[in-house]
Amino acid sequence: MSGRESRVDEFRRVTAAAMRAISRKPTLNVTFAPGQPGVSGEEARLPLPARDLPAEDVALTRGAADSLALRLRFHDNKLHARETPKNEAAREAFEAIEQARVEAIGANRMKGVAANLEASLDDHCRQRGYSRMTEREHAPLGEALRLLAREAMTGAAPPASGKRLVELWQSELGEAARADLAELAKVMHDQRAYAKAARRLLNDLDLDLSAEDLNAEENEQQDNDDKQDDPNEAKGDGGEKDAADAAEMESSEGEEGQEDAGESWKIDEYVTELKAKIPVADHGALESRAQATAAPWHSD
């Protein structure tokens, strides 16, 4: 095996190991292949980088890995399905806003992940030509809301390739919508509360949530109130669990390797924790990437 092939193999092993660690899915099977990244059950597919590992390919693959891993860890599919609007335009926007939430949780906790996600998002906007758009009717509102929600939750401005998209819609936001975006940041660690806030945002933007949707929302809230004393009913719904998971990421010193201040990661403790989740054969590759002065998580 050539040295070049060996580098690619090492990159795949370490990226897959990091994805398992972030997602808390130690049995996740990660493959690399052309096409769109995605997850189905215990199978994850990531973009295949070129053999010479160009920086752009590396960033995009890591960004896809981090995005999928954060979705696995912080997103409750059943809760999301219950809250999703039936109107197509509102449904697409709701999905984009939820993706912003799970990525913001990781970006706020891990600087390396934030950089990977930024590169992936920039490519996403560039591929869709958002920087060249001149008419609002051709600019997808859901994608603009994703960028605005991300900024509200992380403080990160839209990437250059997405700035024009936001500009086309920002002037249309009223006071109610701006308040709704601020509310998203306050409840981002509780998926249920976040979904309700997202629905209010879409309603305030006149995305035509039907009366059926709104009635279902009210009935669901009543059901939750009636069942809140049942621990089995609450388990896995994404609210309390999501907040607890996020708090654990922020406060844990040993398990995830964060420092007491919650701002940076102790690389040595991170490596120790990650070694427990990957095969022994991969330990050398992991250690070669984790230097004392390296950026947090799995950045070069």
Rounded to an integer, the average pLDDT of 164-172 is: 91
User: Among 2-6, 232-236, 267-271, 287-291, which range has the highest average pLDDT?
Assistant: 2-6
Percent of the chain topping pLDDT 90: 55
Beta pairing, strands 38-40 & 29-32: unpaired
Higher-confidence position of 152 and 207: 152
Low-confidence winner among 104-108, 162-166, 231-235 (lowest mean pLDDT): 231-235
Provide the pLDDT for residue 262.
32
| CA 169 – CA 167 distance, rounded (Å) | 5
Residue 285 has pLDDT above 90, yes or no: no
Structural domain spans, the chain: 3-53+261-289, 77-240
pLDDT value, residue 18: 94
Question: Residue 184: its pLDDT value, please?
Answer: 97
Does position 197 have pLDDT exceeding 60, yes or no? Answer: yes
Going by pLDDT thresholds of 50, 70 and 90, the confidence category of residue 7 is confident
DSSP annotation string for 99-155: HHHHHHHHHHH-HHHHHHHHHHHHHHHHHTTGGG---GGGS-HHHHHHHHHHHHHH-
Lowest-confidence region among 43-57, 59-73, 250-264: 250-264
Residue 212 has pLDDT above 90, yes or no: no
pLDDT of residue 295 exceeding 60:
no
Q: Are 57 and 105 in contact (CB under 8 A)?
A: no
Per-residue confidence band for 149, with pLDDT thresholds at 50, 70 and 90: very high
Question: What sign does the dihedral 113-118-119-124 (CA atoms) show?
Answer: positive
User: What is the per-residue pLDDT for 177?
Assistant: 94
Residues 9-37 have pLDDT tens digits of: 899 999 999 999 999 999 999 999 988 89
Q: Which of 106, 29, 114, 121 is nearest to 71 (CA)?
A: 106
Residue 95 has a pLDDT of 96
Q: Are 226 and 99 in contact (CB under 8 A)?
A: no
